[in-house]
Chain A
Amino acid sequence: MNWVWFHKWASPKWFFQKTDALVLWFGFLCLILLTVGTVWGLAFAPEDFKQGNSFRIFYIHVPSAILAQSIFMAMAISAAVGLIWRIKLAHIFVEVAAPIGASITLLALLTGAIWGKPTWGTWWVWDARLTSTLIQFFIYLGIISLYQAIENRDTASKATAIACLVGIVNLPIIKFSVNWWNTLHQPATFKLTEAPSMATEMWVPGLIMMIGFYLFFAYLVLIRMRSEVLEREKRSAWVREYLEKKDVL
Chain B
Amino acid sequence: MYFDSFTDFIAMGGHGTFVWMAYACFLMVIIWNLVSPAIRRRQVLESARRYWRRVDAESQSTESPS
Name A residues whose Cβ lies closer than 8 Å to a Cβ of B.
34, 38, 42-47, 52-54, 56-57, 60-61, 64, 99-100, 103-104, 106-107, 110-111, 114-115, 117-118, 216, 220, 223-224, 226-228, 230-231, 234-235, 239-240, 243, 246, 248-249
Q: How far is A114 from B45 in the complex, measured between Cα atoms in Å? A: 40
Q: Is the pair A243, B3 in contact by a Cβ cutoff of 8 Å? A: no
Q: How far is A220 from B29 in the complex, measured between Cα atoms in Å? A: 12
Q: In the complex, which of the residues A46, A60, A115, A117 contacts B2, with contact meaning CB atoms closer than 8 Å?
A: A46
Cβ contacts B28-65/A at 8 Å (1 or 0 each): 01101100110011001101110111000000000000
Q: In the complex, which of the residues A54, A216, A223, A248 contacts B19, with contact meaning CB atoms closer than 8 Å?
A: A54
Q: Is the pair A223, B23 in contact by a Cβ cutoff of 8 Å? A: no
Q: How far is A53 from B44 in the complex, measured between Cα atoms in Å? A: 45
Name B residues whose Cβ lies closer than 8 Å to a Cβ of A.
1-3, 9, 12-16, 18-19, 21-23, 25-26, 29-30, 32-33, 36-37, 40-41, 44-45, 47-49, 51-53
Q: Nearest chain-A residue to B8 (Cβ)? A: A53
What 17 new A-B contacts, CB under 8 Å, besides A103-B29, A220-B33, A223-B37? A42-B19, A45-B2, A52-B12, A52-B15, A53-B13, A53-B19, A57-B19, A60-B25, A111-B25, A115-B22, A117-B18, A118-B18, A216-B33, A227-B40, A231-B47, A239-B48, A246-B45
Q: Is the pair A231, B48 in contact by a Cβ cutoff of 8 Å? A: yes
Q: Is the pair B3, A43 in contact by a Cβ cutoff of 8 Å? A: yes
Q: Is the pair B44, A54 in contact by a Cβ cutoff of 8 Å? A: no
Q: How many A-B residue pairs have CB under 8 A?
A: 105
Among B32, B40, B44, B49, which residue has the most Cβ atoms of chain A within 10 A?
B44
Closest CB in chain A relative to B25 CB, distance in Å: 5
Q: What does DSSP make chain B's interface, helix, strand, loop or mixed?
A: helix
Q: Nearest chain-B residue to A233 (Cβ)? A: B48
Q: How far is A29 from B57 in the complex, measured between Cα atoms in Å? A: 44
Residues of A within 8 A of B47 (CB): 231, 234
With known contacts A223-B41, A248-B49, A52–B33 Cβ distance under 8 A: no
Q: How far is A96 from B21 in the complex, measured between Cα atoms in Å? A: 28
Q: How far is A107 from B37 in the complex, measured between Cα atoms in Å? A: 18
Q: How far is A174 from B8 in the complex, measured between Cα atoms in Å? A: 37
Q: Is the pair A53, B52 in contact by a Cβ cutoff of 8 Å? A: no
Q: How far is A64 from B33 in the complex, measured between Cα atoms in Å? A: 14
With known contacts A230-B48, A249-B49, A103–B19 Cβ distance under 8 A: no
Q: Is the pair B18, A234 in contact by a Cβ cutoff of 8 Å? A: no
Q: Is the pair A60, B52 in contact by a Cβ cutoff of 8 Å? A: no
Q: Is the pair A100, B33 in contact by a Cβ cutoff of 8 Å? A: yes
Q: Is the pair A249, B53 in contact by a Cβ cutoff of 8 Å? A: yes
